[in-house]
Structure 1
Amino acid sequence: MKNLYCFKQIYNNGKSERRLSLGEYKRAVSWSKYLVSSGAEIKGEGEGAWSADMSQLFIGNKFASGRHSRIYRGVYKQRDVAIKLISQPEEDENLATMLENHFTSEVALLFRLRHPNIITFVAACKKPPVFCIITEYLAGGSLRKFLHQQEPYSVPLDLVLKLALDIAHGMQYLHSQGILHRDLKSENLLLGVDMSVKVADFGISCLESHCGNAKGFTGTYRWMAPEMIKEKHHTKKVDVYSFGIVLWELLTAMTPFDNMTPEQAAFAVCQKNARPPLPPKCPLAFSHLINRCWSSNPDKRPHFDQIVAILESYSESLEQDAEFFTSYKPPTNHTILRCFPKLIAGRRSTSVKA
């Protein structure tokens, strides 16, 4: 079979192209030699439903990379996609096995997920020592990149609310499917051109029924719940903790614990119950929610059903009263009705779930 791959630099949906340099060509060949396949060769048990037709894949420029992966922009069956290539190290058999397990788990989870705030899975290729996961391409890049382009404390509160709601909706759906993300952070939240947010990167996610302790876990300390740092048993509430950190990021446009190394941040969180400092002018509505989300006691953290209800009530209140964030007063308990007295009058005949 000829011309299985066409390596291109893709800009602006193909409007501008250039030839690969010699160095880029050699790097492309070094990866492509593992990927060239007729398709039939890569279909093992259970893989037929998601196996990619590699003759339809065009790989363009790299736009992100991780410890063991590279992410490229590309085209698959005339659709803009992101292509995640995961390379197994030949010198470390244990790491190679772990990466293969992560790949298998990520594909299995992505294949079953369908939600506007979850990245859309397209196809995958399993051909050791390189694995390939193809998803939709989001032109807005990561939320972290967007925030780092802003001035500190400069993101408008209505945009903070919109972004937070998108993330919460995605996580609410994920948890409803019995899935823990376990690496929720701004880098794994992707933006569309309309500023919608989609949760991405399920490499270390797991079904709640299969998640045990966090021994040997490789998450990201700055966003990680204390029980995970301590390698203890964990539940869905670890994602709620991480959401609290992400909400802090939205309000500050800064990196949590940026004056510490990741290890120092982990020690401060576990041993000193430290959290990133809230902005002096942080609206009480947000500070109250954040403090609940990153509570050291997982049982005191709200579920995403509650978080969505709270944020939606904030949104409705803001539509009715532009000064909502300055007039908000924390509730005496955690029921939605008492959180939003201004809405009660208009909802006499409607029951509101706590």
Structure 2
Amino acid sequence: MTSCGRHIFGWNCEFNCESAASSNICNGQFGLPDPYGNSCISGYTGIYCNVNCPSGTFGAGCTQTCRCQAGNAACDRFTGVCTPSGCQAGWSGTSCQISGACITGKFGLDCSSDCQCSNNAACERDSGYCSGSNGVCAGGFKSDMNANNCQTGIIEFQMLTMPNQGQDVTFSCAATSGDALLANSIVLGSSGSAGFTRTETVTEGTVLNNTFTASGLTNNQLVVCSLFHNSQSVSTTLSVSLFVLPYLSQAPEVVAGPGSVTVSWQAWDSHNLDSGDGPIIKYIIYYMLSTSASWTMAGEISVTDQSQAAYSFVVQPLEPSTHYQFSVAAVRDGPGGQGSLSPASQLIYPLTPPPKTPPPTTEGPTVAESSTLPAPPITTLPAPTASVVVTGSSSTTTPQPTSADESNTVLIAVIVIVVIVMIVVAAVLCIYFLRRRRSRRQPAKPPSTGGQELTAYENQISPDNGTGASDYERVGHDHPTSYEVVGINMSPPTYEDVGLPSWTQQWRIPWEEMMVGKKVLGEGNFGEVRDGAVLVGEDISKAAIKTLKANASENDWQNFMEEFRTLTKVGRHPNVVSILGACQHEDILYVALEFMPNGDLRTYLRNARSLGDDDQSTLSPEKLIQFALDVVKGMQHLDAVGVIHRDLAARNILLDSQLVAKVSDFGLSRGEDIYVQMSRTRVPTRWLSLESLASKIYTPKSDVWSFGILLWEIATLGATPYEDTKSKDLLSRLKSGYRMPKPSSCDDEFYNLMLLCWQEDPAHRPHFKKLVARLTSMGDSQNEHTYMRLLPKADNYMYLMIRPELDDN
């Protein structure tokens, strides 16, 4: 039974009667679940619960016995805490109710200190001496000369960041002892010539934590953290892990065309000789003249789709009869992420300039266009090779035109010009009247700014996913109309997005090719999502159109643009709610996302709890495993492109028409592998990792913890995590080692995946790549092994843990 404080009662000590208007409100019997029955609150006894506990007793109804070293007078009658003497010999715990020795590996008055003995052996409760290991301490710990226990040592040594090669590395080393440690007690060293600078020192109790930065470190180089205290020294070593810069092992293809050269190459990691680490965020194209000793950048191409297999880049103009070399460098995320240049391809540009080619300049080649498909090959020169292709010129005699020929030529030219002028005039008139007719029907919308959460929206599960014309009339129309795709015409489309940054160019859609409906799929504090459609090629695709409310602030606009940029960085992936395009019209930005007709995964799982005649859920175990695999593939992609989700949960997984699960509501594109939340943006706590709850620190491994919670949601068909725990108590329970129990519907192997994701040390949690491999293996072997089962009706109590009031906090 819980011993609460003064005038506090309840199963979890959640009620307080002291502030009541009547002082007698605390004097009464309170009912507790069986087998406890009725009882007074802590500190009282008697028929009317108005008698203080006799000396030597405490707790509810004064039923517990004090066990204080200084006698009964030192015992608090409400809680049993012994002040200031502590517990009697052989007893421990806050209320001195735990009898016998401490559990193995613990010692001290309340059994709260770690022994730090070799092989986690037992130590003496009073002194902490490692009797179970004959005084031998665990690695990294030694006995202080002033105390015969293993309390002097290094608690933790880790890299705080994993940068690219050549960049500074940040380390954290924490140590403890029986007394206070000086800041210079902890030092770092390495086998090389790297220098370490202490940048921060934090002391908390007997723990000292120093932060260091170092430059000039290489991959796998050993770094040692040493503690010097009271003529004792201990040390521990770690191996530096850096991202290796990417390298394209194959020379690009070079194709000479009229007035330009097309440089084409395969995406990084397409060839088994490619090396380094991804993800690749862009490629930089270089050229070098035979008369120069250095490379010149011709331009770059950003990577928006990690699955894209090939790239090409057009360079013009070129100097005729000039020897060129071309090379490509891949660039990964983070500072200093550019890899070395690929092998070069060589080309001597044609001796005779092609017709209509601008005269050569002294500024070198410039970018004409970039695309994902190379032009038809004319001259291909893979490198390294010393051979070159030379296109020469030949001389022929051309007959001079006669005067009759000249007259005919002039007449034909005049006729052609007249016809062209008539066509242009007709096209302009058609466009003018068409737009004038549409402008009469469509009043202008007031401008709005701001917004966030681009990929999150709510929509009803609809049996009909068809795209009716009346469903997508322009906002502001009085009556439903058909699609009017005006963008397919003789004139260039009007984008009206001159205020958008250049990185949006690839994703812009003409206003004439976007339909915005009246139905609101969801809305937040300042964002709104409507149904709609966009014209993709010759097909009309259903879409969710995100825009901003009219009252959005400038800060909301900045957040909206940041989310938009993250979407373009993520690109398209089959398990991520992807962007279709964007359009700015009359100062309003519209962002089109994939339409997810089957809603979110949590709602789908809960709706699937309905049982049929055979007492089985409408879902299959195979589908549950597939949901988990879909989600982890999407998270692997987000991790690869450098995005931390921060709010991964079943409610933020959307389902398309084929029930393919796709990750949504990702909002943070990281520049580093760690993010510390400084704003007051509220994030639901029940899906957060220990480090996120305690310090508001988010890393990719924080998302792994949240994925473990999502696996638990799938196994319980959408139950509320920690449904028996208040949000304010969650951190302390997790720190004490509590983890949610195994659902009855899954086997030990599936539950072990959850436990791996919930490791206290983020470094011990698996990468998403490993989780993809494990869930893929589970999906392939379901015929031989049952990882998930659907409970019969008699056992469906495991499916009833739904607390709507706790769902989003």
TM over 0.5, shorter chain: yes
* Structure 1 position 303, deviation (Å): 0.7
Corresponding residue number in structure 2 for 1:181: 645
* Structure 1 position 25, deviation (Å): 6.0
Say if 2:244 is the partner of 1:244.
no
Q: Which runs of 5+ in 1 are unaligned?
A: 27-37, 327-354
Corresponding residue number in structure 1 for 2:296: none
**Distance between the aligned counterparts of 1:297 and 1:210, measured in 2?**
16
Say if 2:769 is the partner of 1:305.
yes
Residue identity matched to 1:318: Q
Residues 177 and 317 of structure 1: CA distance in aligned 2, closer, same or farther (over 3 Å): same
Is the 8 Å Cα contact of residues 644 and 698 (structure 2) preserved in structure 1?
A: no
Residues 198 and 19 of structure 1: CA distance in aligned 2, closer, same or farther (over 3 Å): closer
Question: Secondary structure, in 3 states, of the residue corresponding to 1:133?
Answer: strand
Q: Deviations over 1:112-145 (max 9, x none)?
A: 3232112221112457986432112122222122
**Distance between the aligned counterparts of 1:19 and 1:300, measured in 2?**
49
- 1:168-317 equivalences under 5 Å are 168-202=632-666, 204-209=667-672, 211-216=674-679, 217-257=681-721, 259=723, 264-265=726-727, 267-273=728-734, 275-317=739-781
**Distance between the aligned counterparts of 1:270 and 1:215, measured in 2?**
19
**Distance between the aligned counterparts of 1:174 and 1:162, measured in 2?**
19
**Distance between the aligned counterparts of 2:511 and 2:695, measured in 1?**
40
Instruction: Determine which structure has more spread, i.e. the larger CA radius of gyration.
Output: 2
Give the number of aligned pairs: 303
Residues 76 and 325 of structure 1: CA distance in aligned 2, closer, same or farther (over 3 Å): closer
Corresponding residue number in structure 1 for 2:466: 13
**Distance between the aligned counterparts of 1:299 and 1:127, measured in 2?**
47
Say if 2:561 is the partner of 1:104.
yes
**Distance between the aligned counterparts of 1:191 and 1:234, measured in 2?**
26
Residues 257 and 68 of structure 1: CA distance in aligned 2, closer, same or farther (over 3 Å): farther
Is the 8 Å Cα contact of residues 256 and 276 (structure 1) preserved in structure 2?
A: no
Corresponding residue number in structure 2 for 1:40: 496
Question: Secondary structure, in 3 states, of the residue corresponding to 1:72?
Answer: strand
Question: Secondary structure, in 3 states, of the residue corresponding to 1:109?
Answer: helix
The structure where strand makes up a greater share of residues is 2
Question: Secondary structure, in 3 states, of the residue corresponding to 2:676?
Answer: coil
* Structure 1 position 232, deviation (Å): 3.5
Residues 310 and 76 of structure 1: CA distance in aligned 2, closer, same or farther (over 3 Å): same
Residues 206 and 288 of structure 1: CA distance in aligned 2, closer, same or farther (over 3 Å): same
Deviates more, 1:123-132 or 1:206-215: 123-132
* Structure 1 position 63, deviation (Å): 2.1
Q: 578, 593, 602: which is aligned to 1:144? A: 602
Q: Deviations over 1:296-334 (max 9, x none)?
A: 322221110111111112122223x1x4438xxxxxxxx
Residues 65 and 75 of structure 1: CA distance in aligned 2, closer, same or farther (over 3 Å): same
Is the 8 Å Cα contact of residues 88 and 128 (structure 1) preserved in structure 2?
A: no
Is the 8 Å Cα contact of residues 87 and 129 (structure 1) preserved in structure 2?
A: no
Question: Secondary structure, in 3 states, of the residue corresponding to 2:698?
Answer: coil
Q: Deviations over 1:317-354 (max 9, x none)?
A: 223x1x4438xxxxxxxxxxxxxxxxxxxxxxxxxxxx
**Distance between the aligned counterparts of 2:527 and 2:587, measured in 1?**
12
Q: Which runs of 5+ in 2 are unaligned?
A: 1-434, 444-461, 478-493, 611-615, 789-809
- 1:10-159 equivalences under 5 Å are 12-15=465-468, 17=470, 39-46=495-502, 47-60=504-517, 61-77=519-535, 78-87=540-549, 89=551, 96-97=554-555, 99-112=556-569, 113-125=571-583, 131-151=589-609, 154=617, 155-159=619-623
Is the 8 Å Cα contact of residues 208 and 235 (structure 1) preserved in structure 2?
A: no
**Distance between the aligned counterparts of 1:260 and 1:25, measured in 2?**
48
Question: Secondary structure, in 3 states, of the residue corresponding to 1:102?
Answer: helix
Q: CA RMSD in A?
A: 3.6
Q: 777, 787, 801: which is aligned to 1:325? A: 787
Identity across the alignment (%): 26
* Structure 1 position 260, deviation (Å): 6.9
Residue identity matched to 2:547: L
Q: Deviations over 1:53-78 (max 9, x none)?
A: 22332222122233332222211122
Is the 8 Å Cα contact of residues 673 and 700 (structure 2) preserved in structure 1?
A: no
**Distance between the aligned counterparts of 1:305 and 1:130, measured in 2?**
39
Is the 8 Å Cα contact of residues 567 and 578 (structure 2) preserved in structure 1?
A: yes
- 1:157-168 equivalences under 5 Å are 157-168=621-632
Residue identity matched to 2:670: L
TM-score (norm 1): 0.73
* Structure 1 position 281, deviation (Å): 4.1
Is the 8 Å Cα contact of residues 191 and 197 (structure 1) preserved in structure 2?
A: yes
**Distance between the aligned counterparts of 2:774 and 2:744, measured in 1?**
22
TM-score (norm 2): 0.34
Question: Secondary structure, in 3 states, of the residue corresponding to 2:746?
Answer: coil
The structure where helix makes up a greater share of residues is 1
Is the 8 Å Cα contact of residues 223 and 245 (structure 1) preserved in structure 2?
A: yes
Higher RCO (CA < 8 A, seq sep 6+): 1
**Distance between the aligned counterparts of 1:42 and 1:82, measured in 2?**
24
Residues 306 and 144 of structure 1: CA distance in aligned 2, closer, same or farther (over 3 Å): same
Residue identity matched to 1:207: R
**Distance between the aligned counterparts of 2:522 and 2:467, measured in 1?**
19
**Distance between the aligned counterparts of 1:186 and 1:80, measured in 2?**
23
Residues 132 and 260 of structure 1: CA distance in aligned 2, closer, same or farther (over 3 Å): farther
Corresponding residue number in structure 1 for 2:185: none
